[in-house]
Amino acid sequence: MSNKLRSNFEEGSTRWAVRRAQWIAMGIAESDFAKPKIAVINSSSGLSVCYQHLDEFSKLTQDAIREAGGLPFEINTIAPSDFVTSAGKKARYLMPTRDLMVNDIEVMMEGAVLDGMILLSSCDKTTPAHLMAAARLNIPALVIPCGYQLGGNCHGKQVDIEEVYKGVGTLLMGKMNVADMEEWTRCAIKGPGVCAGMATANSMHCLAEALGMALSGTTPIRAAGDKLREVVRQAGQQIISLVEKDIRPRDILTIKAFENAIRVAISIGCSVNTVRHLSAIAVEAGLDIDVVAIFEQEAAQLSQITQIRPNGPDRIEDLDRAGGTRAVLFQLRHLLNETVMTVNGQLLSTLLKEEIVIDDKIIRPTDKPFRPEPGLTIIRGNLAPSGAIVKLSGIGTGNRIFEGPARVFNDEDLAMMALSEGRINDGDIVILRMMGPVGGPGTVFACSFMAALSGAGKGATVAVVTDGELSGLNKGITIGQVMPEAACGGPLAIVEEGDLIRIDLHARKIDLQINPDLYAQRMEQWQPPVRTLENNWLKIYAENVMPIEKGAVLGKRGG
């Protein structure tokens, strides 16, 4: 195999000579030089509990690669955290970190010419970035989802990061005091890993397995536990096998694999953000597919077979114990493309023949769903001609038609102020706009307002329509990722205070209820706001980010 490795440079060449000198100085044995050279992509950071355990698991992964006959190299990247990197510039840096990480990995992998990589995935932006990088570089790779954290108990109440997040609204409305919130923050997170619940991080962990890019039976998984240690040992062996057999990400990330992942996302009520991330991974994989349209098509025939928080009472550890993503795939198997390849080196059909114990009180068969509607769906209308995303699983089973006056905000802080001052009323439809990838630039958090709204007890009576960033923890009447975004001339830009908006979730429609001639006039007259951007990363991002329909990847605008 060694003669075929792209990392083995021609003897006597400059690249061969200078690298030998470097590695000898580093104490690497010369007998290791011809082995498969495997990167361990580690986004460890002292800033966030999501990454607290990764250095330990990076070392274990490197040991596993050595035992399997490879030569490991740790590569560190940036480490975005949705609850930490969101602090500055109203979270504008957060979404762009995903694509910065993809390019970070490309530079190190292609610059050094390594043979394969294991990607230690943790927080929300990390897993999609890792899958995007794998798809773009198309060298043998596999993802290790590095697990979820647990919540705690606070005076008899189960408290996790979702409760803290929603509690801000309760605090704003004077229904809770700061001392109680302080106590919650002491109880909410017990150990390392990503947010408990079916938020974006756990959603993308599950979808990494559903796509075939994580080892079967590895999601969701408790962070820093013995099971994760065993997964690391398996991954060390498997990455060498992938290199030997030359199984590459684009052999796995096919259209059929994306269809499978979308069916899983819809059926378990994944985060709304999975739509943009799957779109981005498909773009990087060179696939000519419309992920939004596939979501729309598949949602028409799927039901919700789990109810993991924030979609219901069950917890992410319940999904883990019940059989996890592998059990979900088994319950959906009659709807899936089972001929797809996986990083196990086997077809999905082979993996689903292996014995599996499923708790169908947590993961139901498709003929006995928790709800006879999809967890995620796409709606369209004159306010979202290219689509918008609704997490039906986070709304409840009440009224599916919502009509009310628009309350328009171009700044989330102003919306939060209006909420705290009692100026957001039942029946209002709050518009949070100019917050998309171009408008931010970099998506602005709209999810803090939605969480505050739920905490204030208005999540079921006030709707939110936004082109900004939502959290997988959000629930309530939320219409997210409105496309095109307002800054690109999408109709959200022409909504005025008091305009009547109608949301019909039965018909999957969202419309601005104004005269068609007035609608056309406003669209024709609209001009993008004049702004001066600082000469920084956000300016580079704004000038190069593609439409959100394309996953907001970097490339030629509008391409």
Q: Report the chain's C-alpha Rg in angstroms.
A: 23
- With CA atoms as reference, report the closest residue to 261 among 242, 233, 287, 232: 287
Distance, in Å, from the CA atom of 419 to the CA atom of 456, rounded to the nearest integer, reads 9
Find the catalytic residue in 121, 267, 386, 471: 471
Element (H, E) at 48: none
The strand pair at 384-390 and 401-409 is best described as unpaired
Residue 334 has phi, psi (to 5 degrees) of -70, -10
Distance, in Å, from the CA atom of 546 to the CA atom of 556, rounded to the nearest integer, reads 6
Distance, in Å, from the CA atom of 248 to the CA atom of 345, rounded to the nearest integer, reads 10
Between the alpha carbon of residue 273 and those of residues 47, 120, 149, 251, 495, the distances in Å are: 23, 20, 20, 25, 24
Distance, in Å, from the CA atom of 498 to the CA atom of 431, rounded to the nearest integer, reads 11
Distance, in Å, from the CA atom of 226 to the CA atom of 232, rounded to the nearest integer, reads 10
Distance, in Å, from the CA atom of 427 to the CA atom of 406, rounded to the nearest integer, reads 10
Between the alpha carbon of residue 350 and those of residues 12, 330, 341, 355, 540, the distances in Å are: 46, 11, 10, 11, 45
User: Are the beta carbons of 383 and 480 closer than 8 angstroms?
Assistant: no
Distance, in Å, from the CA atom of 124 to the CA atom of 95, rounded to the nearest integer, reads 10
Q: What are the residues whose beta carbons fall under 8 Å from the beta carbon of 313, sequence distance 6 or more?
A: 307
- With CA atoms as reference, report the closest residue to 384 among 255, 258, 479: 479
Place of tokens 């918008």: 388
Active-site residue 279, yes or no?
A: no
Name the residues annotated as catalytic. 471
